[in-house]
Amino acid sequence: MIQTLAVLLIGFSIFSAILLSIAHLDYKEYRGKLLSQLSSLLLLITLAMLQFSHYQFIVNDSEWVKSPFYSFLLFIVAPSFYFFSRQILKIEADDNKNLSLSIIVLHFLPISLAFFLPQELSLPLAFLIGSGYVVWVAKMIYKLREQRSRFKQEILAMGILFFIAIAVIFIAFMEFFTTSNTFYLLYSILIGGAFFIADLTLLRSPNITSEVEDAAHATYVSSTLNHIDCETSLEQLQKLMEKDRIYTNENINLSEVAEILKLSPHQLSELINSKLKKGFSRYIREYRINEAKKQLIEEPKASVLSIGLSVGFTSQSNFYNAFKEITGTAPGQFRKKHLSD
């Protein structure tokens, strides 16, 4: 039973890693964040290869998991996850800009140990190093607790992934008290579970990256609004939304709007977070949904998809998820209810 579950989750993990890698190659939220994008791709590829190694061991009794290459993969996971999440969980612009190549190399330097140490030493060392990064993630998630009322689903998902990481480290050190087969079965299941939670979260909150960035920015960054006329900037922003309807541009982003308002992206993000109590992505989605609600009633013959696309969404699924998130009901149900009243 456990072996069957492990094999199924291994297949799911590899398939998910491939799809997520393809999606991340052209994900607009990664514009200007090359290190974060490359790290996410490296993380996905590494996890997929780990799962393939587990499959070879469980099904074909292969010795891949006993090779230096497997240790090499384990050492990659922690630093690649760190650099992927760094810009999301710790939005400190100056710190990120000053991130030197030597610092990046230092984080990946332990990888070389995989080829010099015997596996009975390299595996626990890889997980020990990984536990240090897990502590960092725990600290960042804890700091986001002030934003939990606005980002409940996102922070809950992050918390679940954190506890999966804790479980991985726990069973890694429990390998000394369990059989190798049990260890790799459990490890495969936990990685598969992490992919499942990540996929489910992305389906429910496609903009989770920008949402968590907004939460982190509101938590960590010192005020950038000291010399800004906030009321005037908010009035200009409202004009852009209600008169110019820039939210209908499917590619609109924080940097472009900030440039129009002659603000920095951090200033605009803080302005919306502090004054309107929401993130930029949520702010844009609310305008799109309000316009969609109006069109659904005033244009009963227009398809739900055409309305979703006209207000700035890129697909029916994104429109449906956002509409249900904000209104609590599906677009079709909303139209039917209000046209029958």
> What is the count of structural domains for the chain?
2
d(CA 18, CA 51): 13
Task: Indicate which CATH number applies to the domain containing 241.
Answer: 1.10.10.60
pLDDT digits (tens, 9 = 90+) for 163-189: 777 777 676 666 554 556 788 888 888
Residues 151 and 295 reside in one and the same domain: no
Residues 260 and 324 reside in one and the same domain: yes
Task: Write down the pTM of the prediction.
Answer: 0.64
Say which residues have a Cβ less than 8 Å from residue 162's Cβ, sequence separation at least 6. 134, 137, 138, 141
Residues 152 and 229 reside in one and the same domain: no
Residues 202 and 229 reside in one and the same domain: no
Percent of the chain with pLDDT over 90: 17
At residue 93, the pLDDT reads 43
At residue 155, the pLDDT reads 60
More confident site: 209 or 252: 252
Task: Indicate which CATH number applies to the domain containing 55.
Answer: 1.20.1070.10
Which one of 178, 196, 215 terminates a domain? 215
Residues 251 and 314 reside in one and the same domain: yes
Residues 205 and 240 reside in one and the same domain: no
Domain boundaries, position 169 = 2-215
pLDDT digits (tens, 9 = 90+) for 183-205: 888 888 888 888 888 777 777 66
Helical residues (DSSP H) of the chain, grouped into ranges: 2-25, 34-60, 68-89, 93-97, 101-108, 119-143, 152-173, 180-204, 208-220, 230-242, 254-260, 265-276, 280-298, 304-310, 316-327, 331-340
pLDDT digits (tens, 9 = 90+) for 86-111: 766 654 444 444 566 777 888 888 88
The alpha carbon of 261 is separated from its chain's Cα centroid by a whole number of angstroms, namely: 28
Residues 210 and 226 reside in one and the same domain: no
